[in-house]
Structure 1
Amino acid sequence: MSPSSERPRDRRGRLRLVVIQALVFSLLGTLGARLYYLQVMSGAEYQGQAAAQSVREIVVQPQRGLIVDDEGRPLVSNRLTWVVSIDTTLLGRMDESDRRALLRRTGRVIGEKPRAIARKLVLCGSDGAVAGRCWNGSPYQPVPVATDVAQDAALRIKEQGEDFPGVIAEEQTVRDYPRPFGINAAHLLGYLSPVTKDELDAAEADGDTTINGASVVGRAGVEKEYDAFLRGQPGYKRVAVDSGGRVLGDVSDVAAQPGDTLVTSIDAKVQSVVEKQLHQMITTARATYDPVTHRNFAADAGAAVVLDADTGRVVAMASEPTYDPSVWSGGITQQQLNRLYSAKAGTPLLSRAFQGQFAPGSTWKPFMTAGAFQNGYGPDSMLSCPPAIQIGNRLFHNFESESFGPITFAKAIEVSCNTFFFQVGMHYWLQYGSDPTNTDAKDPLVEEAEQFGFGKPTGVDLPGESSGRIADRKWKLAYWKSMKDYYCGIAHHPQDGKTSDFVYKFAGEFCTEGYMYREYDAANFAIGQGDTVVTPLQLARGYAALANGGTLYEPRVGKAIVSPDGKVIRRIHPKVQAHVTLPAAVKAYIDGATLGVSREGTMAWKMGGFPLDQVQVHAKTGSAEVYGKQATSWVASYTKDYVVVMMVSQGGCGSCTSGPGVRKIWESLYGINGESVNPDRSVIPGVTPPDGLPVFGKDGSVLPPVREEED
């Protein structure tokens, strides 16, 4: 058959075949070109990406810096512990039954319930996350699920890897507390806890590379105040893993940089003496009968502070009740956490030394004397000291209603005469502000208290400091405005038989005239009673200004920051907050009066046989009354070198409870045994704190400071 006779259907079939062949060859050409591009032109790039998928980056936490005392003794160090972590990426590739089996197997070895382990593996911010228990770090970072794991358990996991896929056991560092001389110092040192999501977000926004999701940060004390120096710089390790998540080897790493060392002004020996004496005074008070309340003293809390009078540095500071800072290492249980915040347990996390606020009682009187002497009174001024004095329709008494007749300010300080100082407060009230509604009236005693820094934070380098309170006219008006509705509600509510008549009466008076600053307010202020409160640290700082002639320092615990290789990065110098106007004649008078307290006054019966001619301890006792509670015991004292203050809440008489402990502290500071003074027996070499810093050796050793020999 000729071509011309070929049927149209056959021609169309051949045409389709040609088109299909062309398409096939075109596709094959495109595929070949693509394969050439992927394998030849871009082969190296894709090979690198494939390799990267088998490399995992792990954050290596740095060793946190040491905290040492002024002699180089370690207060906080680090120790190695076994930590078990779980690789969640591998865990996520398992089926449900295998995952549960692995958690059960791991839990049996480390002593944890599978459900508890599972909660720790949940990424914070995701569904099912429990705050404080979820994982705040990278989802590609192995998640720590147990710390302080027994070595045999950790080695079992390491040696039987086929039974524990994705479970890692390795040694890491956690905080350790050497406790030199048995000290606690928890409120000074503080503690650590895992970084929060908000903190992590803030660090990332600021470009702070020292914090990551696995970091722990300081939460209190110097751990928090100097956290940026102590935490160090994390490192990073890149490891090769197989498809099962097992580590094949290291690819590269950037070493972590240890944190810096914090040198403090704390002396561990003094701290030990202070803690033991505070504890002993509280224990003794609890076994002592209170004739006023007809039960033993509750002595529910206490604090003691030792300051360097010339620099404002903190030499020792103790508070009770306290806690063991090591409970935070490796994770704290909910039961332990509840106790730390428990009011029934005395709220152990609260430092009574710089966060507790208490009426100062008669320890206030030297400051009132300084104010009075610069506003009309003087050494020759005499006022009567009756057993009680009537102000309005109320009688205000001396302690145990004692009477001494006409006396001077010095004698009034020695015997702690309240009625004497009542008259001083009333005098200024009548002279400058007898109008109880005048909030702008002059008050020399309030002004003097403000000069000595009361009513505001001292500026100590410890977080969470309380400000105290000066209960003057302005404060009383502000307080009335804030509480008026509450007390008016009580006063206008029908009596229910549960609320005492006193409370109804008080509420009614407060509702209508609680803003008025009356004569008895001024009288109470002059003896450190009423609504004025101070922290023990504030009181110690005020007495340091009396001792050094009027310089008001911001107390310091930190002394220097030293790098891991022993170089001094920063010296933390004492900072002057203000200067108190304290004429030399006024200082000399107060020095004499407070020395008289130790020789002949309210502290004398606790200082018998003490060599006051060689070590002149100036003191003032206080027994601050608190409504519904037993009196607060105070002793504030100073020499040319130091200030020692002790307070016991619900401890009764100042010298009765705190006096013996304060004496023991002074004996340790000056090496006193009986009536003999031997500086070589002092707990501090050379009696006074060293000016220099500990010596840091290249081998990591820390030696005491080099002291210049005296001529």
Structure 2
Amino acid sequence: MEVTVDRVALAREKDDGEAVLNRLALLLGTPVEKINDRLKTCGAEGAKPPPVCWNGSAYQPVPVANGIDPQTAINIMERSTDFTGVTAQLHANRIYPAPFNVNAAHILGYLGPVTESQLEAQGNSDAYDRLRRTDIVGRSGLEAQYDDALRGKPEVTSLAIDTAGHVTEKLGENAATPGNYLVSTIDARLQSVVESQLVNAVQRARSQGYPGKSGAAVVIDVTNGNVLAMASYPTYDPAIWVGGVTKKQYDALKSSDSLSSNAIQGTFAPGSTYKVVSTAAAGKQGFNLGGYYGCPEQYKAGNQTFRNFESHGYGTISLARALEVSCNTVFYGIADTMWKRGGGLDADRTAPDPIANMAKSFGLGTKTGVDLPGESSGRVASRLFKAENWDAKKDSWCANALDGYSETRKTNAKLADFYTALDKENCADGFRWREGDALNAAIGQGDTSVTPLQMAMVYSAIANGGTVYQPRVVKGIIGPEGKVVKNFTPEVKSTVAASKSTLAFLQRALPGVTLRGSGETPFAGFPLGQIPIASKTGSAQVTGNKVSTSWFASFAPANNPKYAVVMMVTEGGTGSKTSGPSVRKIYEALFGVNGRSVNPARSVLVGGAPKLDLPKVRSDGTPVAPKGKNSGVRG
């Protein structure tokens, strides 16, 4: 319940409503000064800054209290002569039911006051449903992406005012129109599992002595690109924004790094999960995917030595086995050959770059197009990127090299010497795509960075035979009267530039990772004979002394793909030990696995598959929703 005060009605009282406000303050148990501060128009003399002052129309009732109890509301309504111009009425509040204890904060988003830039963007619009200073708008997530669809239209009364500011007549009235319903692709039961398993993965990293600072997990329907579940850690309670947050609360949210979504905004080195891209590029360049390659413990390129980080030397092995045991040196050798074919150190920025080109055909380096705001593009390491980066930074590098980092030198001469030498080299030829750059790029290191959602779409494309879908979180919009406003259909973003035989090779090879490779341990005892899991682990190295990023990318069933599941934990150690066990639990929930038994009836997906149809909305505007335990909501 909300209490509002009509200042026009108060002005008609002999004492300008002073007695009414004193009685109201006593009833509400609040200082009358607080009510008076709220009633002052922002910008007027003595007005306190927003949100204390009133930022709306002088002729619009001003909310002065919210969340009042029913008895207080009854007192106001029954004593209308004592409370002239005061109204107690129901007020719409955003609530978050959290079915099955789902958080989904980074998907749902939150509401906040309209911004100056949004108001200015309207120009001189006189539309009755234009944004006003008192409006609350979507500020992130689906709330922001679909703000226009969700908002509806307000009830607006047009009044005639005389030169003294008095209302002389009502000119017209526009009735309110409810907003639409959004129907998401997210399955609440599955989302609950994914969120809890992501937390478990973070805790698993910490139990191994790693920081496990953050993480993300994504589940994609590989047949259409629908996002069935997506979680980010750390997160926050979306209800904290209802009614506004304090500066202390906002500062705490910022310092915890919980406001941004690691699934779509965070970018991370993909490590060995990127080897599927390098394999596809090798196939396109004529390398024999069925052939054998040397897997020594280390690989020398010029005066540098590159070692295996996820496996020791295996001698001569097949490319499929190289994926299974994640042999870096096999991919170093392939990348080195490509680099030399492309002109080596003397090649310019237009020279062939097969791995980078293949990555771009998988959709990396560009936004996936998911219907959520703030998505990151990521970055693909390449000759072109390095040349363009040099164009942008060479002046700074050269200036720093000339200066010698004089300020740093005052306290740390050794560090200043290191930075100076580095910038001298970058100033002179930082545009060159060196041998080491090419080798690092082949195993998902160096300048390459991806979002977990991007990597999920890569594995979805491998699973479905080469189609890169535009991921989607909303599958439909339904009007308040039950009419379907929009039914979204799958959209293809691109097609992978790899042959059917190359994609088929990856589909055959990746289940071996789970059967007898780096993904074997977390899936020990899983009924892989019934539900084969195609996977790739990753332990991406990061700068400084930080622990590697744990990755586990996968799709299943490998012989009839339906879902792609990707999880990552920053500073989490290996993909197999940290993320892998949680990915297994997600698949158990998806397929109804209990031990070695598979029962689709036990799947968290009702009916054993994602729902594609839209729910019904009754003519009175209420949706037909599950009840009782099927709703996932207590009460």
Per the TM superposition, whether the score is higher than 0.5 is yes
Q: Deviations over 1:405-437 (max 9, x none)?
A: 112211111011111111111111111131356
Look up the match of 1:54. none
1:605 and 2:525 equivalent?
Answer: no
Q: Is the 8 A contact 1:136 1:195 kept in 2?
A: no
Q: Distance in 2 between matches of 1:558 and 1:338?
A: 31
| Cα distance change, pair 111–503 in 1 and its aligned pair in 2 (3 A) | farther
Look up the match of 1:664. 585
Amino acid in the other structure paired with 1:144: P
2:28 to 104, 109, 116: 109
Q: Distance in 1 between matches of 2:70 and 2:251?
A: 30
Look up the match of 2:633. none
Q: Which runs of structure 2 are paired with 1:84-483 in the superposition (5 Å)? A: 84-89=3-8, 102=21, 106=25, 109=28, 114=33, 118=37, 121-123=40-42, 130=49, 134-155=53-74, 158=77, 166-203=85-122, 205=124, 208-213=127-132, 214-236=134-156, 255-289=175-209, 297-342=210-255, 345=256, 347-399=257-309, 402-436=312-346, 438-483=348-393
Query: Runs of 5+ in structure 2 lacking a partner?
Result: 627-635
Q: CA RMSD in A?
A: 3.3
Q: Which runs of structure 2 are paired with 1:527-676 in the superposition (5 Å)? A: 527-628=443-544, 629-639=546-556, 640-676=561-597
> What SS does the corresponding residue of 1:303 show, helix, strand or coil?
strand
Q: Is the 8 A contact 2:25 2:32 kept in 1?
A: no
Q: Deviations over 1:370-402 (max 9, x none)?
A: 111111202233221122222233222211561
Q: Distance in 1 between matches of 2:502 and 2:58?
A: 67
Q: Is the 8 A contact 1:319 1:351 kept in 2?
A: yes
**Residues matched between the structures, number:** 609
* Deviating more after overlay: 212-221 vs 277-286: 212-221
> What SS does the corresponding residue of 2:433 show, helix, strand or coil?
coil
Deviation at 1:89, TM superposition (A): 4.4
Deviation at 1:613, TM superposition (A): 1.5
| Cα distance change, pair 121–279 in 1 and its aligned pair in 2 (3 A) | farther
> What SS does the corresponding residue of 1:577 show, helix, strand or coil?
strand
Look up the match of 1:40. none
Q: Is the 8 A contact 1:636 1:644 kept in 2?
A: yes
Deviation at 1:192, TM superposition (A): 1.1
> What SS does the corresponding residue of 1:696 show, helix, strand or coil?
coil
Q: Distance in 1 between matches of 2:39 and 2:328?
A: 60
Q: Deviations over 1:288-328 (max 9, x none)?
A: 22xxxxxxx11111100001000000100000111111112
Instruction: Show structure 1 runs of 4+ deviating over 6 A.
Output: 91-101, 124-127, 250-253
Look up the match of 2:630. none
Deviation at 1:233, TM superposition (A): 1.8
Q: Is the 8 A contact 2:128 2:156 kept in 1?
A: no
Q: Distance in 1 between matches of 2:311 and 2:193?
A: 35
Q: Is the 8 A contact 2:272 2:326 kept in 1?
A: yes
TM-score (norm 2): 0.88
Q: Distance in 2 between matches of 1:527 and 1:409?
A: 14
| Cα distance change, pair 625–113 in 1 and its aligned pair in 2 (3 A) | farther
> What SS does the corresponding residue of 1:399 show, helix, strand or coil?
coil
Q: Is the 8 A contact 2:310 2:326 kept in 1?
A: no
Deviation at 1:573, TM superposition (A): 1.1
> What SS does the corresponding residue of 1:423 show, helix, strand or coil?
helix
Amino acid in the other structure paired with 2:539: S
> What SS does the corresponding residue of 1:689 show, helix, strand or coil?
coil
Q: Distance in 2 between matches of 1:664 and 1:252?
A: 60
* Deviating more after overlay: 100-109 vs 586-595: 100-109
Q: Deviations over 1:42-66 (max 9, x none)?
A: xxxxxxxxxxxxxxxxxxxxxxxxx
Q: Is the 8 A contact 1:123 1:139 kept in 2?
A: no
Look up the match of 2:614. 693
Q: Deviations over 1:550-574 (max 9, x none)?
A: 1111101111111112121210111
TM-score (norm 1): 0.79
| Cα distance change, pair 100–277 in 1 and its aligned pair in 2 (3 A) | farther
Q: Is the 8 A contact 1:158 1:169 kept in 2?
A: yes
Q: Distance in 1 between matches of 2:36 and 2:429?
A: 60
Q: Is the 8 A contact 2:405 2:420 kept in 1?
A: no
> What SS does the corresponding residue of 2:92 show, helix, strand or coil?
strand
Q: Deviations over 1:146-168 (max 9, x none)?
A: 43344455555555667765544
Look up the match of 1:9. none
| Cα distance change, pair 104–429 in 1 and its aligned pair in 2 (3 A) | farther
| Cα distance change, pair 563–497 in 1 and its aligned pair in 2 (3 A) | same
Q: Distance in 2 between matches of 1:443 and 1:315?
A: 34
Amino acid in the other structure paired with 1:353: A
Q: Deviations over 1:314-362 (max 9, x none)?
A: 10000011111111222222222222223xx1x2110000111001100
| Cα distance change, pair 203–209 in 1 and its aligned pair in 2 (3 A) | farther
1:493 and 2:405 equivalent?
Answer: yes
Amino acid in the other structure paired with 1:229: A
1:511 and 2:427 equivalent?
Answer: yes
1:679 to 584, 590, 600: 600
Q: Deviations over 1:557-601 (max 9, x none)?
A: 111111112121210111111112332221221112110000000
Q: Distance in 1 between matches of 2:570 and 2:26?
A: 46
Amino acid in the other structure paired with 1:684: L
Q: Distance in 1 between matches of 2:296 and 2:381?
A: 26
Amino acid in the other structure paired with 2:489: H
Q: Distance in 1 between matches of 2:536 and 2:44?
A: 56
Q: Is the 8 A contact 2:553 2:567 kept in 1?
A: yes
| Cα distance change, pair 140–97 in 1 and its aligned pair in 2 (3 A) | closer
- Larger Rg belongs to: 1
| Cα distance change, pair 597–119 in 1 and its aligned pair in 2 (3 A) | same
Q: Distance in 2 between matches of 1:308 and 1:137?
A: 46
Q: Is the 8 A contact 2:152 2:177 kept in 1?
A: yes
Q: Distance in 1 between matches of 2:37 and 2:438?
A: 62
> What SS does the corresponding residue of 1:522 show, helix, strand or coil?
helix
Q: Distance in 1 between matches of 2:35 and 2:268?
A: 43
User: What is the aligned-residue identity percentage?
Assistant: 44
| Cα distance change, pair 340–254 in 1 and its aligned pair in 2 (3 A) | same
Deviation at 1:670, TM superposition (A): 0.3
Q: Distance in 1 between matches of 2:27 and 2:431?
A: 65
| Cα distance change, pair 134–195 in 1 and its aligned pair in 2 (3 A) | farther
| Cα distance change, pair 496–93 in 1 and its aligned pair in 2 (3 A) | farther
